[in-house]
Chain A
């Protein structure tokens, strides 16, 4: 039997920190606090694709440049499609690709549909009403607006669902690209596609320092929370946010000086060099042909449906 056990004092629940709010008054955290505590985890999960891009799947084997180009083409195709059925087929294709790339389908679906209803759904909801999109009323809510009928129109519903599905397809396609490609390869691909080297350098470093800065902000916030006693006014809160942001800029400046010196010391002359030189394979060629075929087929199907 395993004798090593967690000491009792370590697992004992602290009455003062009871999360259920049964002791003392439970305070609702501010949105700053919520964003800070939540963001760190989410960002680490979202921004690092190291584990998924190292798996041995279909998309992981392809060249980053080819993937970038094909994603761009498929995004334009998704933008041009005017029928929900065709978009749903595209979404099915994206799911199949995720499965072929050995990604967890549940995670893939969750990451797309967690954002879509929250951001897109809320925004397009009012557009289903006849006030925004006039047309054939399907669900009526009565004639209470100065004698006019208020209701959901079929045109509005159709338009809104078209947007929601299109956004889901677009996010899925971009997600496929970003989670099957390691960040350095993606940057190399961007550079190969004639994106100026300065942008690529800035992009690479910004991605790296988002974590660093977020860590600094969290530290400053924790330090601030630990110090004062009693209630703090909104004015003090505003001053704190502004000075945190200012101090962050100062820290970032100092950091950038150090980073630059470190870069120059390692031979940086303005261009990022990838350790592995990318090479096109037969698989890349087959992928390009498949994507082109899929694009033509999708647009053709959409055209036939429209006709």
Chain B
């Protein structure tokens, strides 16, 4: 369904997440949990097998990614869901090997992080056995699967815009954004999301009742209603910062949505002399698509460099201040 160019881009987007996940899981989860992650993958595979019929004629399935993220941590979920997707692609032709990068990006990277972010935000400092925590996990599952579905719909919907013959014959996925987004979102908001919510919340409730040690793997510092108060609060700022970055990354990926908007941006007309990349014929509207993507990428790089530079300067300032204090 997806063009090789789209697949390659999304492989490139997933690779850093895989590498980071591999390193983090090895460090944090330890070798001891390699079998547990493997079994988490087998678990996700089984969950994905249960295709629920959707009224519009297709089927949708839950992923279980957010559940694994809640129990083993989001990085372990990245590996577990990726593995489940790879087994599906290799043995069932489901999803496809070329599209594996895209599938992994949507369901194994964005979904666990989006879902886990919502879970942490809603659960807050609730005790390990609180109902709020189960609800938060379910909500995380619902948001996570819908975020993944939305991204998938965008990837599909952009195919006929970018890849078609002169006579309009689509070369890859044929549905435009106006059709792919409602179709995917209906199936996931109404059916798959609800299944994911029920599954994630139900399993967390069960674990709270019957298998609390399993919940403790990823909640070492959260009190379980009998023990100490969480020192989770101390970690909140760093955590929020990280998720802000992830949110920004998601927004960057969603940039192509802007292509949907007809007309030009209100009040953003630059004076003609200020246009960058003038020699490349982007500003005159000859290559609006390429110009849009290039300017988006350029903007991200510039803002990223400014942010990183600013952070480095402030950090150096802080270090100098600490050194001065030490010297004094």
Contact = CB atoms under 8 A, between A and B. Distances in A.
B308 interface: no
A246 B38 contact: no
A151 interface: no
A155 B167 contact: yes
A201 B38 contact: yes
A80 B42 contact: no
Given A203-B86, A205-B38, A252-B39, A39 B25 contact: no
A217 B50 CA distance: 13
Contacts of B284: none
A123 to B, nearest CB: 6
Interface string B52-79: 1100011000000001000100000001
B199 A198 contact: no
B239 interface: no
A47 interface: yes
Contacts of A124: 174
Nearest to A206: B41
Interface residues of A, number: 76
Contacts of A72: 97
Given A75-B98, A132-B176, A170-B97, A246 B203 contact: yes
A18 interface: no
B68 to A, nearest CB: 9
Contacts of B211: 246-247, 249-250, 253
B43 A248 contact: yes
A101 to B, nearest CB: 17
Interface string B185-199: 000000000000011
B39 A255 contact: yes
A259 B35 contact: yes
B96 A242 contact: no
A260 B35 contact: yes
A159 B169 contact: yes
B255 interface: no
Interface in A200-226: 201-207, 209-210, 212-214, 217
Contacts of A245: 47, 67, 199, 202-203, 206
B39 A209 contact: yes
Contacts of B160: 133
B9 interface: no
B202 A82 contact: no
B84 interface: yes
Contacts of A196: 18-19, 22
Given A115-B93, A239-B202, A159 B170 contact: yes
Contact of A206 (B45, B49, B50, B202): B45
Interface in B75-131: 79-80, 82-84, 86-87, 89-94, 96-98
Nearest to A112: B93
Contact of B175 (A31, A127, A248): A127
A110 interface: no
B169 A158 contact: yes
A247 B211 CA distance: 8
Contact of B4 (A80, A133, A247): A80
A162 interface: yes
B1 interface: yes
Contacts of B53: 31
A163 interface: yes
B42 A46 contact: no
B80, B94, B168: most-surrounded residue (chain A CB, <10 A): B168
A79 B202 contact: no
Interface in B1-42: 1, 3-4, 7, 18-19, 22, 25-26, 31-42
B206 A170 contact: no
Contacts of B202: 238-239, 241-243, 245-246
Contacts of B26: 198
B207 A250 contact: yes
A160 interface: yes
B71 A249 contact: yes
A32 B199 CA distance: 14
A243 B211 CA distance: 11
A139 to B, nearest CB: 16
A71, A112, A257: most-surrounded residue (chain B CB, <10 A): A257
Contact of B98 (A31, A76, A160): A76
A160 B174 contact: yes
B96 to A, nearest CB: 6
Contacts of A134: 168
Nearest to A42: B92
B292 interface: no
Contact of A199 (B22, B71, B203): B22
Interface of A: 31-32, 35, 39, 46-47, 71-72, 75-76, 79-80, 82, 112, 115, 119, 122-124, 126-127, 132-135, 155-156, 158-160, 162-163, 167, 170-171, 174-175, 177-178, 186, 196, 198-199, 201-207, 209-210, 212-214, 217, 238-239, 241-243, 245-250, 252-253, 255-257, 259-260, 263, 270
21 contacts: A31-B50, A35-B51, A132-B179, A133-B160, A162-B171, A163-B1, A174-B89, A177-B90, A196-B22, A198-B22, A203-B83, A203-B86, A204-B38, A213-B42, A245-B67, A245-B202, A246-B207, A247-B210, A249-B214, A252-B43, A256-B35
Given A202-B37, A252-B43, 19 more contacts: A35-B49, A79-B4, A79-B98, A122-B57, A123-B58, A133-B169, A177-B90, A199-B83, A205-B35, A209-B39, A210-B46, A245-B202, A246-B202, A248-B43, A249-B71, A253-B36, A253-B214, A255-B39, A260-B35
